Amino acid sequence: MELKDILKTVPEVQGLVGHEDAGKLMNTKEYDGGNQVKSNLQSAFAKLMTANKDMVSEAVSKLTSRLNIESKIRTLTDKEQLILSLEKQYQQDVGVLAALFFNYVKLSPGEALYIGANEPHAYLSGECIECMATSDNVVRAGLTPKYIDVQTLCSMLTYKQAFPEILRGVPVQPHVRRYTPPFDEFEVDCCLVPPGELVVISPVPGPSIFLVMTGEGELQADSQSAGEKAKEGDVFFVPAYTEVKLSTCGPESMQLYRAGVNSRFFS
C-alpha cells in the first residue's frame, strides 16, 4: 500500500510513528485480516497525532527543508508539493505530516466525491459545493485554529484503505445532472440554464434548497406565484411537490445547485 512507501521514504514520519508501529505496517500483507490492518493503522496514526509538539515541529522543519533542497534536482510528487503548501499555511502543525496518511484527490469541474461518516477529510483549495448530512458534531485534529480533539478523532475513524469513488453525475433531464451518494439523506443536482432557455425542474417528494452559483435569472416555484429574481449567492427554499421554472437574464448561463432528500428514500 502507498503508506508503506511513505514510511520507507519519509524518515521524519517514521520517526514519529516509532519503529514498532512502522514495522507492523511495513509487514502488513494485502490478505491480512481487516481488523488487524485497522488496528495497525489506528495505532500508527495515533502515535503520529499525539507526538510531542517539539518533535512534530522538528520533523516538519526537517521534511520541508529536505523537500525544498530536493526540488532543485528533481520534480516533487503531488503529495510532496502538498506538504510544502500546507506548511506555508500551518507551520509546525501535525496535520502537515498527517496529510501523508490520506488520499490526495484533485477534482475537475463537474466531478464530485462523497465522504462517509467518521472519515477524516480536509478541503484544501478551489471552489466547490459541499452538502452535509445531519451531524451531531465535527471533530478536528489539525490544520485549523479551532478546537482540536485528537483522542476522540483517532478512536472514531474507520481506517478504510481505498481511494474514494469519483462521481461525475448522471443526466436526469436536459441541463440537469444528478449526483447521488450511497445514503438516504441527500442528493445534489447541478442545473445549467443556457441563455434564452427555460428549464423546468420536475416536482420531487421532498423539500429542496437551490443555490445560485453564477449568472442571473429568474426562479419560479409553482405556477401560482410570481417569479423571483435570482443572482449569484442567492438561496431559495422550495417545498416538496413543487415544480420549478428557471430562466436566465442576459447573455450568460446561470448555474444553480439543488440539494434535496435522496430519491431512493422515496422508492
C-alpha distances in Å from residue 141, one per residue of 75, 145, 146, 155, 222: 30, 10, 9, 12, 46
Residue 97 parent element (H or E): helix 94-98
CB 97 within 8 A of CB 48: yes
> How many whole angstroms separate alpha carbon 260 and alpha carbon 238?
10
CB 214 within 8 A of CB 239: no
Give the list of residues 6+ apart from residue 120 with CB closer than 8 angstroms, or none: 102, 141, 153, 157
Tell me, yes or no, if 140 is annotated catalytic.
Answer: yes
Angle subtended at Cα 208 by Cα 204 and Cα 210, rounded to the nearest 5 degrees:
125
Longest dimension (CA), the chain: 70
* DSSP 8-state symbol, 255: E
- Exposure b/e, 120-152, CB count within 10 A at least 16 = b: beeeeeeeeeebeeeeeeebbbbbeeeebebee
Which amino acid is it at 234?
A: D
Q: Among 66, 140, 177, 178, which one carries the catalytic annotation?
A: 140
Alpha carbon 73 to its chain centroid, in Å, reads: 33
Q: Could you list the active site residues? A: 140
